[in-house]
Amino acid sequence: MSNNYTVFEDLGIKDYKEVWDYQEKLFSEVVDVKLHNRDQANEQKSITNHLLFVEHPHVYTLGKSGVQNNLLINDQFLKQINATFYKINRGGDITYHGPGQLVGYPILDLEALDLQVKSYIHNLEEAIIQTLADYGIKSERLDGATGVWLDTDVPGKSRKICAIGVKASRYVSMHGFALNVNTDLNYFNHINPCGFVDKGVTSMEKELGRKIDMQEIKDKLVQKLSAIFNLQLN
């Protein structure tokens, strides 16, 4: 008895590891219910999906397929710039999270939503693309790379505005996306973002020349995600 009932939580600004642990807890709960339902045909439990929004203090995370050399600084310099570093269990390479960046962690039963992992990522990208369009920013996908990009057809100008890195097990998702809203882009100078050495990064603030209201962007993005994934948000 799976449904699309989804609890939305805005966690504000929270430590990366603390939220990662919380994700793991919620993820395990969803998987446990799925396993119960598979084994107990006469005693079905409803599954609750989760959507978390958060901003993190400065942190670099390296996906399981990533290369540590894409972090271009040592532990001492990490301390100097007040940042931390974690190797984590999502796909993808290295990325940065920090204040002014909207990070979203959907923990969804993809099976109940009739989604493969590829189409799930496509839908995440679509929600970001539609949200950016509301601000007059034309964005798109880039062949061979996840995330949302600008000017993909202009040599030397391609730049990423939203990174995506997910984990899915038993068709339950975790980790998610990181949209650069008012992000300090200097922190990207210390990595090869997502393993790319020839592409830049940008933010909504940089593209529009003004600070973006974070609550406004959260509200818009929640609406886009709930519509695209057909989620009943609470």
Give CA–CA dist 222/207, Å, rounded. 22
Please give the pLDDT value at position 1.
Answer: 40
Lowest-pLDDT choice from 178-182, 205-209, 229-233: 229-233
Catalytically active residues are: 194
pLDDT given for residue 42 in this prediction: 82
Q: Give the residue from 30, 51, 17, 55 showing the smallest Cα distance to 176.
A: 51
- Alpha-carbon gap, residue 50 to 60, rounded angstroms: 24
Q: Name 71's bridge partners.
A: 191
Tokens of 17: 């590891």
Alpha helices by DSSP H, listed for 50-160, are: 75-80, 117-134
Please state whether the predicted TM-score (pTM) of the whole model is above 0.85. yes
The predicted-structure confidence for 102-156, as pLDDT tens digits, reads as follows 999 999 999 999 999 999 999 999 999 999 999 999 999 999 889 999 999 988 8
Give me 196's structure tokens: 């790319």
User: 50-74, pLDDT tens digit by residue?
Assistant: 999 999 999 999 888 788 888 888 8
5-233, what's its fold? BirA Bifunctional Protein; domain 2 (3.30.930)
Domain locations along the chain: 5-233
Q: Which segments of the chain does DSSP mark as H helices, in order?
A: 16-39, 75-80, 117-134, 204-208, 214-229
The Cα 202–Cα 161 span in angstroms is 5
What local confidence, expressed as pLDDT, does residue 198 receive? 57
pLDDT at residue 91 is higher than 90:
no
Token duo for residue 156: 């030397």
Residue type at 129 in one-letter notation: I
